[in-house]
Structure 1
Amino acid sequence: MKLYICEKPGQARDLARNLGVSGKGDGFIGDNSVAVTWAIGHLVQQLNPDEIDTKYSKWNTEDLPIVPEIWKMKPNAKTKKQLNIIKGLLQKSNHVVIATDGDREGEVIGRELLDYFEWTGNINRLWLTALDDNSIKKALNSLKQGSETEPLYAAGLARARADWLVGMSATRALSLMAQKKGYRGVLSVGRVQTPTLAIVVNRDIEIENFKTKDYYDILGVFSGVEAKWWFNNDEFSDENGRCLNKDFAQSVVDNVKSGGNAVVEKFATQRKKVSPPLLHSIDTLQEQANKKFGFSSKQTLDLAQSLYEKHKATTYPRSDCQYLPISQLSEVKDVMTAISNIDSNMGKLIVNADLTVQSKVWNDKKLSAHHAIIPTNNTQVNVSGMTTDESKLYDLICRSYIAQFYPSYEYDKTSIEINASGEMFNANINVDVNLGWKIVTNSQAELRQDTVPKLTKGQELTVDTVDIEIKQTKPPARYNEGALIKAMKNAHQFVTDVNLKKILRGDEGIGTSATRANIIELLKKRNFLTVIQKQIISTDTGRALISAVPTEVKDPGMTAIMEGSLSKIASGELTLDAFMDWQVEWLGKLIETIKSREISIESNIQTVECPECGKDMFLRQGKKGKFWGCSGYPDCKTVAQNNNGKAVFEKDMPDCPKCGKKLRRIKGEKGFFWSCKGYFDEPKCEFMTQDKAGKPFLK
């Protein structure tokens, strides 16, 4: 039997339809000759430390680092049924086509199943760039050999194992050392999450420690022409070339005024052309969607995934590439026709597009595993079926594509240089000539038509006015999600170590295009980051972690270098074994560093004493909100409800006015309410009431 393994049920249905397979089974589509099945994310996962050895059930520094001799996997309990279905299908199969998402993680989701069941046989890879029928048929006609993408699997395993090693060992080591200082909590450490957190913490500290300084600009008006002083004195400048000395600025003003006249040293106009921006990768799409619509990075990724999977309107969303293969030039007309049929407003823009134009995005040398995110040529897309946010993102992707077939944006740049008593002043005036692609992207509504003075080189001008303008330096802006995604992508800018700079490529960042949004969400979920008015700010807990963690873990440069190593595994330049040997050696040194250093951290975790065993109880996050749990779990299972940060035990809960049993405060879909504990008893008490400021509303 030939078995296709997809990543999700929806993808399996699309693939089965194009294969002409229709028989429906339990967890698959097909028959005894061809079947299409699906995973539901990762169906198997790494063992926990205590499942490797029971000694790890208790946290001890002596047992660190934890390095498995053999990497074993276990079923994901929530999806065990589907795992067993795939097991049965594999037993009947001699040929597997991996049809999961075409990236590192997709490769792992498919191949880890084959390894888990020790399956051997012929393997092909279906590499999908979009899920519309035309794209699926095209991919089915050009299956890859399994060996072509196998290095991606090795890179995915390397990433997963490296994350496991750091997460399990460094988290335990740091938490145990912090607990010696009275810290009652877990300091969660991650290979990617911790340096990302450090970027935000460092920016927040920089802002808070920033001291405003005055600096001085000089503005002159010469025969009606406004120009700004060209400051070039290193003695009185800051790192940004601004004048910090008022007396020096005043001496310049006095000198210019005393001279009385000025001379035009340069007057030149040059036509400038700006090509359309590159197409979108998921990173640039997240940046633009955050800027234009306020979407979070995770929200943009989810919307892009829906446009790809549900609507078949756009291509693979987790791409890190902004270019297209030259071969796709033959599909331009079909894509434009589809867009026109789908959206009449876009059709108006396409009428004025020149489809013979070949912009710089068509470049085979710039391609990665996937090309840029673009609209598909699927004419059956139903825009009316999209949510408002999906439509906004689809519109953004379409405009980026259409803009490639519009002329360059053109403007005339006039440069003026004026010499006044030996002091140079300059002015630049831009006048739009042709908006070109800006009409499509809505980045500019109308032509700028500034007035350009008529001057000639050598012309004498009078000094009308010369004034000092006092300004103040401003701290750097806090990160929003788009800016943080960009910072993660460009991790090299945070590296100060000279040796690291030599080996770090500019395109090696923290995480990958497919994972950065999830990393930010994880940091928010763990209360390391919070969002206030679209600004990302580190919490006290997040800062406490960064203050305690060694440089080796929080340095963005080290993490970016590791990502570079994973890329080398994917390209076949580095082996999985060599990477893991290096990782284990590095981890050993890291744990020794944590053990030997003096961690400066105060307990910032609120605790209450457990009434049953006397141990500390901590505020924890549950599926239905926060609650207080005993640190003696599982021996002590005492819990308390959380009421505005306070632990409320059952004995202190108000009585039900109907049956006399205790009331409970419960978080529902529309907020908190109070319900009788007797709801599950016989006879049932169905008393419920509203929550008013943390108390039951009782008439």
Structure 2
Amino acid sequence: MKKTLVIAEKPSVGREIARILQCHQKGNGCFIGPNYITTWALGHLVTLADPEAYDDRYKTWNLTDLPMLPPHMELVVMKETAKQYSIVKNLLRQPDIAEVVIATDAGREGELVARWILKKAGWRKTIKRLWISSQTDRAIQEGFRNLKPGKDFDHLYASAESRAEADWLVGLNVTRALTCKYNAQLSAGRVQTPTLALVVEREKEIKQFIPKDYWTIHATTQGFALTWKDKRSGQNRFVTKATADALIAKLAGQSGEIIDIKKEAKSELPPLAYDLTELQRDANRQYDFSAKKTSSLMQQLYENHKLVTYPRTDSRYITDDMVPTLPERLRSIAVGPYADLARPILKTKITPTKRFVDNAKVTDHHAIIPTEEYVNLGKLSSDERKIYDLIVKRFLAVLSPPFEFEQTTVTASINGELFTAKGKIVKRKGWRYVYDGHGDGHGTMADPVPCDNDQAGAEAEPDQTLPNLQKGSKINIAAVKTQAHKTKPPARYTEATLLSAMEHPGKFIEDQKLREAMGGQIGLGTPATRADIIEKLFSSFYMERKGKEIVPTSKGMQLINLVPAELKSPELTAKWEQQLTEISKGRANKDQFINEIRRYTTQLVTDVAGTNQTFRHDNLSREKCPECGKFLLQVQGKRGELLVCQDRECGYRKSVSMSTNARCPQCKKKMKMIGEGEGKTFTCICGYREKLSAFTKRNEDKKSSMKKREVSKFLQKNNDEGAINTALADALAKLKI
């Protein structure tokens, strides 16, 4: 009897699919059933070959051997996952396997994972595609009833392979060129370099910024405040204090008159549904989660808990055919704190507008929304619960009515000068009630809510409670005072604002035609890759976190000065992403794209080799490398401070201090750990010090929540220096560049 082989992307997904397809017999790296055999990848099992696979001379890094331009890109089995590849290959060669169903993640990279396995194994038979947006039993069953022909996704595969080959050609060649030219661990790539350039350019703007003084004038009367405005320009700033003081003298002792009261009924539409980038932004703003952490938590909610739809989406809309599923999704989340929010929506006829339902704005996947799966909140970890809370509340907000209020603007005249005040009366909280969580939807403004505008919080005239005023009435002025201010430099990027800049880099592109052609749709990287790019820039020591702010290191700033100008502009990757999108839609040719990349790679290597610039390590420590004798570099890693060898071929590294979650018993702040072996010691900025052995014994004696095994686990986690990648290791990782 002929069977179908199903290839999932991960074991966890493979097991779930196997259960639904009645594949109950456990095999070697697979599950076997009467009609299906389900197996899985472990992420990528097959990848592009290392440079040395094409020519022995590439085993050593030499500038004269560049560029590396293999006539055909070869695939190799990854050593780390070779055993699982062998299992999949042998299954593909079984005579009873008649067709393959690709069940990897429904996206560009998921397509590449499966297609490279099939290509390397020499599969020539039928291919079908499971294309679903959630991992619930119902979604999987429905997906298998509606399998799509594999050829429908040939263009998506061509786009994915084009991206991988282009990143190999540009990334590895430029990385080797920079590293050999300057004998330093330097790497570059079409997405990471322009992203770093954004951070470096912002830092330059901040350092070059010269603050300027300005003044505003405010009058207080009858329990509210008025702000002076220029009659002609509407501006409220004075550039000299003398001018402001002169006006204060003119207004001293004067009364005022209400000359206009304007009341407007206004409404504020609900926010758009989440795509991955917007969710990562909100998680960073509210919980200080990194983009990488949010992606990881989302994958857990999607794969393991099956509570949310496909996370790596760039759409914020759903399609018409999903509207009938909305009541069931609402019923599934109507538990705990969400019950009182969901029930009113369920009692009314759900008629979402184009703000949520728009077929034209959904490409591969729709917005992130809850599934129909019943939720047991108690099974979620604290961090999973936070992300789930964001998604559920955004879903409820999108389905809620607009926020309605009455905006009152009062204009007064004081000795001929114009003053204004604003007040707001809430008529109906609408969607904002979701973020307030109590009351009847009327009354004062809700608590702060997520905002799509990264400039939220900019200086503006505040809303206040205004008394009952009449036009023409006189008002007594209690005081008129100036307030001194200084102009502020642009804010440093946080992960939230950097994600925004990566998503919409159009304003950084000088080519107006290209900027207009992009229409805000082409960004640096994709929702699926942006978190990894940001993390790589941290792990390569090109930038570092200072609180929530992102600051470029000296190494990062020097790198941007060393790379060719075109590579650090968002323009290049915008052009690439535009062409990759066209390839995925069958409107552009892969071979033409790769040939263009080859020519461009040659130009980049020539540019690097021809410069006369120098690279200087300005983070040298006084400690020498025990292996090669060169001075070690002091760097700030993800988990703490490190000393790493400046020689790229040596690779020695040593931990100096590690950030921990252990709290100081005196000031309750998080402590660092220094030292090695039995000398490991916790230290705090307040001066407290405690040896690890004493720390462990103290907590054992108190029978606190940190048991001995948790201390051991904590130490194991904090000793995991393998989680920190060097630029050289990253370069050799090829597809991560």
Normalising by structure 2, we get a TM-score of 0.79
Cα distance in 2 for residues equivalent to 1:552 and 1:395: 42
Deviation, 1:107, is: 0.7
Secondary structure at 2:427 match in 1 = strand
Q: 1:519 — aligned with what?
A: 533
Given that 2:269 and 2:402 are in contact with CA atoms closer than 8 Å, whether structure 1 keeps it comes out as yes
Q: 2:732 — aligned with what?
A: none
For residues 490-569 of structure 1, what are the structure 2 equivalents within 5 Å?
490-496=504-510, 498=512, 500-569=514-583
Deviation, 1:106, is: 0.4
For residues 294-443 of structure 1, what are the structure 2 equivalents within 5 Å?
294-340=288-334, 343-353=335-345, 354-359=348-353, 360-379=355-374, 381-418=375-412, 423-442=417-436
Given that 2:633 and 2:646 are in contact with CA atoms closer than 8 Å, whether structure 1 keeps it comes out as yes
Structure 1 residues without counterparts, runs of 5 or longer: 180-184, 646-668, 675-688
Q: Residue 171 in 1 paired to residue 175 in 2?
A: yes
Q: 1:64 — aligned with what?
A: 66
Cα gap change, 1:83 to 1:216, in 2 (>3 Å):
same
Given that 2:643 and 2:656 are in contact with CA atoms closer than 8 Å, whether structure 1 keeps it comes out as no
Code of the aligned partner of 1:293: Y
| Equivalent of residue 584 in structure 1, options 579, 598, 607 | 598
Q: 2:273 — aligned with what?
A: 279
Given that 1:214 and 1:470 are in contact with CA atoms closer than 8 Å, whether structure 2 keeps it comes out as yes
Q: 1:204 — aligned with what?
A: 203
Deviation, 1:588, is: 2.5
Cα distance in 1 for residues equivalent to 2:504 and 2:69: 31
- 1:455-479 alpha-carbon deviations (Å, 9 max, x no partner): 5566676766543322111223222
Deviation, 1:257, is: 6.2
Given that 1:529 and 1:539 are in contact with CA atoms closer than 8 Å, whether structure 2 keeps it comes out as yes
Identity %: 33
Cα gap change, 1:491 to 1:231, in 2 (>3 Å):
farther
Q: 2:5 — aligned with what?
A: 3
Deviation, 1:262, is: 5.2
Secondary structure at 2:216 match in 1 = strand
- 1:409-462 alpha-carbon deviations (Å, 9 max, x no partner): 111011233455664433321111111222212389873285434455666767
Cα distance in 1 for residues equivalent to 2:52 and 2:633: 23
Cα gap change, 1:87 to 1:671, in 2 (>3 Å):
farther
Secondary structure at 1:137 match in 2 = helix
Code of the aligned partner of 2:362: L
Cα gap change, 1:252 to 1:386, in 2 (>3 Å):
same
Given that 2:630 and 2:645 are in contact with CA atoms closer than 8 Å, whether structure 1 keeps it comes out as no
- 1:613-658 alpha-carbon deviations (Å, 9 max, x no partner): 878887899999967669595xxx8x9774749xxxxxxxxxxxxx
Q: 1:20 — aligned with what?
A: 22
Cα distance in 2 for residues equivalent to 1:392 and 1:696: 35
Given that 1:4 and 1:97 are in contact with CA atoms closer than 8 Å, whether structure 2 keeps it comes out as yes
Q: 1:110 — aligned with what?
A: 114
Cα distance in 1 for residues equivalent to 2:466 and 2:641: 63
| Equivalent of residue 570 in structure 1, options 584, 588, 591 | 584
For residues 77-116 of structure 1, what are the structure 2 equivalents within 5 Å?
77-92=79-94, 93-116=97-120
Cα distance in 2 for residues equivalent to 1:260 and 1:491: 51
Cα gap change, 1:367 to 1:289, in 2 (>3 Å):
same
Cα distance in 1 for residues equivalent to 2:302 and 2:653: 42
Cα distance in 1 for residues equivalent to 2:256 and 2:328: 64
Secondary structure at 2:93 match in 1 = helix
Deviation, 1:316, is: 0.9
Cα distance in 2 for residues equivalent to 1:622 and 1:483: 20
Q: 1:290 — aligned with what?
A: 284
Q: 2:227 — aligned with what?
A: 228
Cα gap change, 1:253 to 1:18, in 2 (>3 Å):
same
Secondary structure at 1:5 match in 2 = strand
- 1:383-405 alpha-carbon deviations (Å, 9 max, x no partner): 22211111121122112212233
- 1:141-193 alpha-carbon deviations (Å, 9 max, x no partner): 222222222222112112212211221111122233334xxxxx221112111
Deviation, 1:75, is: 0.6
Cα distance in 1 for residues equivalent to 2:232 and 2:58: 63
| Equivalent of residue 55 in structure 2, options 40, 53, 56 | 53
Cα gap change, 1:298 to 1:127, in 2 (>3 Å):
same
Structure 2 residues without counterparts, runs of 5 or longer: 446-463, 658-671, 684-689, 694-737
User: Which region of structure 1 is more displaced relative to structure 2, 584-593 or 360-369?
Assistant: 584-593
Cα gap change, 1:627 to 1:46, in 2 (>3 Å):
farther
- The structure with the largest alpha-carbon Rg is 1
